[in-house]
Chain A
Amino acid sequence: RKEVEQDPGPFNVPEGATVAFNCTYSNSASQSFFWYRQDCRKEPKLLMSVYSSGNEDGRFTAQLNRASQYISLLIRDSKLSDSATYLCAVRTGGTSYGKLTFGQGTILTVHP
Chain B
Amino acid sequence: GAVVSQHPSRVICKSGTSVKIECRSLDFQATTMFWYRQFPKQSLMLMATSNEGSKATYEQGVEKDKFLINHASLTLSTLTVTSAHPEDSSFYICSARDGAGSYNEQFFGPGTRLTVL
Bound together:
yes
Q: List the interface of chain A (C-beta within 8 A of B).
A: 4, 8, 32, 41-45, 49, 87, 91, 95-105
Alpha-carbon gap, A49 to B106, bound state (A) = 12
Closest to B113 in A: A41
Closest to A89 in B: B44
Alpha-carbon gap, A99 to B97, bound state (A) = 11
Contacts of A91 in B (CB 8 A): 104
Q: List the interface of chain B (C-beta within 8 A of A).
A: 32, 34, 41-46, 49, 51, 91, 93, 95, 97, 103-104, 106, 108-111, 113
CB distance from B87 to the nearest CB of A (A): 19
Alpha-carbon gap, A95 to B46, bound state (A) = 18
**Contact residue among B32, B43, B91 (Cβ-Cβ distance under 8 Å from A87):** B43
Contacts of A102 in B (CB 8 A): 43-45
Helix, strand, loop or mixed for chain B's interface? strand
**Is A96 touching B32 in the complex (CB atoms < 8 A)?**
yes
**Is B104 touching A99 in the complex (CB atoms < 8 A)?**
no
Contacts of B103 in A (CB 8 A): 95-96, 98
A-B contact pairs, 23 of them (CB 8 A): A4-B43, A32-B104, A41-B111, A42-B110, A42-B111, A43-B108, A43-B110, A43-B111, A44-B44, A44-B93, A44-B108, A45-B108, A91-B104, A96-B32, A96-B97, A97-B32, A99-B46, A100-B46, A100-B106, A101-B46, A102-B43, A103-B43, A105-B43
Contacts of A43 in B (CB 8 A): 93, 108-111
Closest to B106 in A: A100
Among all A-B residue pairs, the 3 with the closest Cβ atoms: A96-B103, A104-B43, A43-B108
Alpha-carbon gap, A43 to B94, bound state (A) = 9
Closest to A99 in B: B46
Contacts of B95 in A (CB 8 A): 100
Contacts of B104 in A (CB 8 A): 32, 49, 91
Alpha-carbon gap, A8 to B49, bound state (A) = 27
